[in-house]
Structure 1
Amino acid sequence: MIPAKNRAFHLPPELNASVPPERRGINRDHVKMMVLDRKTGMYEHDHFYNIDRHLRPGDLIVLNNSRTIPAVLSASLKRSFITIVDKVEIRLARRKGEGVWDALIVSDKAKAGDILEFSDHLKAAILHIDKNKPLQTIKFSQTGGELFNSIYELGEPVRYEYIQTPWSLDYYQTVYATNPGSVEMPSAGRAFTWELLFKLQKKGIRIAFLQLHTGLSYLLDDKWIMNPAENSEEYDIPEATLQAIVQTKSEGGRVIAAGTTVVRALETAAAQVKRKGWTNLYIHSDFKLKAVDGIITGMHEPEASHLDMLSAFVKSEYLMRSYQDAISKEYLWHEFGDMNLII
């Protein structure tokens, strides 16, 4: 873990990326990229479309193909058929079962047994309320594809405080996303284009996929501080991906995770010998990585637990030194921002 005193860098507000690259006039893969050497701490600046220059034939990139859902919904709060609140914001956090979700209910009036009415066709019962926790459990009146269709019809994507424009859901998707379930975008893969993926494969760099549905990290109120170990997320790693990892390792190649979600899934699978399940793995400087050799990631805030994970890859002083230079070079932070390759 990076001690607080070693990560107290100042991030100027203007470096919070509030606009997708495409709306800034550049392609997804034309964002900046800082390449950081794990062993030496040396770094250089490039652009993401040149990532193939920093990888070798035989390396393997693992991508998270979870698709972002529009997880912010609006409902009326009803009790015994009487409307208690006309409009309540509901932020889905994670799917727990058929039609059952943990969710952030933005109202202090909600009680167990109340009904959330999203539309004439979609309702949810509040199964449990714990005032000491941010997330509550709700059960929708629909399940499966029918429920996802309603969510896509009624919801909008999670938007952080530095994003003022309600960008459409398309901007919160990776080009290869297939399986809906993430409530926040697995953003480390956003900069990939199909052209770049084909270029990487042409060079002999393998591509494999897994699925981890990201949970809700942005809880609106500063009083809710979620410990990384409390953030359980569902993952599923195909057998073909596991075989690709074994082959890559046996041939001397490197396994490069596209994002912290991929690291959590692969390291959980390595520790538990389980191809699918739930992970609440907290990775920090003392964690010994078993599956992953490098990471493609965005730029993270001083208080982000993701920085703790990066300290498992590279010494904190190397990371902070490179971050300070990225700030001086006006790198952009967050999901619409610039990238960092650590190998």
Structure 2
Amino acid sequence: MEALRVPPELSARVPAEQRGSGRDDVRLLVTRGTEVSHHAFRELPGQVRAGDVLVVNTSATLPAAVNGRVGGERVVVHFSTRGEDGRWAVELRAPGGSGATGPRPGGPAGAVVRLPGGRELVLEEPMGDVLSAGNASPAIRSRRAPGHTPALAPGVTEAGLAEAGAVEAAGAVGAGAAGRGTVEAGATEVGAVEGGTVEAGAGAGERGAGERGAVDMGPVGAGPAEGARLWWARVPEGVPGLLRRYGRPIRYGYTERDQPLSAYQTVFAVAAPDGSGSAEMPSAARPFTAALVAELVSRGVQFAPLSLDTGVASAEAHEPPYPERFSVPPTTAWLVNAARAAGGRVIAVGTTAVRALESAVDADGVVRPVSGWTDLVVTPRRGVRVVDGLLTGLHEPEASHLLMLEAVAGREALRRGYEAALERRYLWHEFGDVHLLLPDEERNAPDCSSNVR
């Protein structure tokens, strides 16, 4: 995959409806095992079957880019994630002539950013420093939703994790539960706190397959503190109102022009009462329309909602994702577990759905309802425990998302799919074409086209 290069002209520069007849006017690359086929996205009902469950992210996209100034310097503030302590993780970007932005060193601590409407935010500490130190920052302490139970593997107790510093008092869900995946039987609590899923019998010094050590990229946000990309910032009250009035959707240089916020919402997006949401669109679901959803449901395909509020992407450095807030409700846990028990497939719509769902599954493959924060990074070594297939966009060869795709489909299937996408000139990024990855054993299974009513 490292040898693949995506030419600039294969970046989708405008939404599908501005270059075709509608949102679903994109192409669908299907990989079943190592076999590749090409379709229109409208043909998705013929690629899935009755009893399948499509897991979708309902997080709404925020107008998260706001102009600001640091002294005499113009900046664009990308609001990434709201912490539990009221602070926001933000990224300062350099404005570009086309309306897009470029990278800019973060910091320094104490810097004041002037915002529209006479408001200010103050940078306090790099987000990565808090995480790489192994601390449960007040900004990202996971909290159990009422009546929810964290997914802990057999032999691991909340009390044991609390002693190791992973679970806060007052019922917080530790990073070793929903936050960092699950801990295998026989793993030490200290190993769980170190990061990610620790394989059975692994000691404290061996990082597991789930998180930062598994991708061999060092601590999240590693590097000089003054140059860290994301910073926790003290911000004024009413950030959702600030974004509604002065914000616009985040966009990058490969896009042609600014688009309205509606272009960055999916058909599944649900506005949160507290104004929270995603800094960037969960874009794998963008081609779905209400008519296509209705057709899939009429053929026996079910939809299971969850939410994961995406932070800002690492457009230049391709870092692993930072911790993100997520919630898997009881109805979705029940639907997924029931489908698996009945022999149905669980197909995640987007990498965000994989991250959330795999953060809620225990060592026995049972999904538990849970809300909190996750810093799980799904890799081939960690694997997937509940996801059978994945519908996703096309990612840059350097992107950490490809580790997740390889975990779902395997390296050879991924290589063949991406070579075919380049040969057929598929379009990349959030307004581009999509890729459905399904396992080998489904090659000869009946699809739901026989279930037309």
Tell me the TM-score normalized by structure 1: 0.88
Please point out which of 350, 355, 360 is paired with 1:259: 350
Contact 2:123 2:233 in 1 (8 A): yes
How far 1:225 sits from its partner (Å)?
5.2
Q: CA deviation at 1:26?
A: 2.2
Q: Is the contact made by 1:99 and 1:147 (CA closer than 8 Å) also made in structure 2? A: no
Deviations 1:228-255 (A, max 9, x none): 4xx1111011111111111111111111
Determine the structure 1 residue equivalent to 2:328: 237
- Percent identity of equivalent pairs: 36
Amino acid at match of 2:266: T
Give the secondary structure class of the aligned counterpart of 2:307.
strand
The alignment partner of 1:158 has SS state of coil
Q: Which is strand-richer, 1 or 2?
A: 1
2:298 aligned residue (192, 202, 205): 202
1:156-305 to 2 correspondences below 5 Å? 156-178=248-270, 179=272, 180-218=276-314, 222=316, 224=317, 226-228=319-321, 231-271=322-362, 273=368, 275-305=370-400
Unpaired segments of 5 or more residues in structure 1?
Answer: 1-5, 78-83
Count of paired positions: 322
Which of 42, 47, 57 matches 1:49? 42
Query: Is the CA contact (8 Å cut-off) linking 2:53 and 2:346 kept in structure 1?
Result: yes
| Structure 2 letter corresponding to 1:69 | L
How far residue 332 of structure 1 moved from its aligned partner, in angstroms, is 0.6
The whole-number CA distance in structure 2 between the counterparts of 1:306 and 1:271 is: 22
- Tell me what 1:124 maps to: 121
Contact 1:122 1:150 in 2 (8 A): no
Alignment counterpart, residue 59 of structure 1, candidates 52, 59, 67? 52
Q: Which amino acid aligns with 1:163?
A: T
In the alignment, what sits opposite 2:207? none
**Superimposed CA distance per residue, residues 284-304 of structure 1 (whole angstroms, 9 cap, x where no aligned partner):** 222231111111001111101
Report the Cα distance in structure 2 between the residues aligned to 1:59 and 1:288, rounded to whole angstroms. Answer: 21
Contact 1:294–1:342 under 8 Å retained in 2: yes
Distance 1:201 1:96, change over 3 A: same
C-alpha deviations, 1:170-228, integer Å up to 9, x for none? Answer: 11111221134111110011011111111110001101110000111135xx5x55234
SS at match of 2:42: helix
Deviates more, 1:109-118 or 1:292-301: 109-118
Q: State the secondary structure of the residue aligned to 1:270.
A: coil
CA RMSD of aligned residues (A): 2.0
Residues 329 and 369, structure 2, Cα contact 8 Å, conserved in 1? no
2:163 matches 1:72: no
> Where in structure 2 are there 5+ consecutive unaligned residues?
94-103, 127-224, 439-453
Contact 1:94 1:183 in 2 (8 A): yes
Q: Quick one: distance in 1 between partners of 2:231 and 2:5?
A: 34
| Structure 2 residue aligned with 1:151 | 243
Q: Could you tell me which of 32, 47, 58 is aligned with 1:37?
A: 32
| Aligned residue type for 1:267 | E
Partner residue, 1:3: none
Contact 1:28–1:192 (CA under 8 A) maintained in structure 2: yes
Deviates more, 1:205-214 or 1:148-157: 148-157
Checking the alignment, whether the CA contact within 8 Å between 2:121 and 2:235 is kept in structure 1 is yes
Matched residue type, 1:103: V
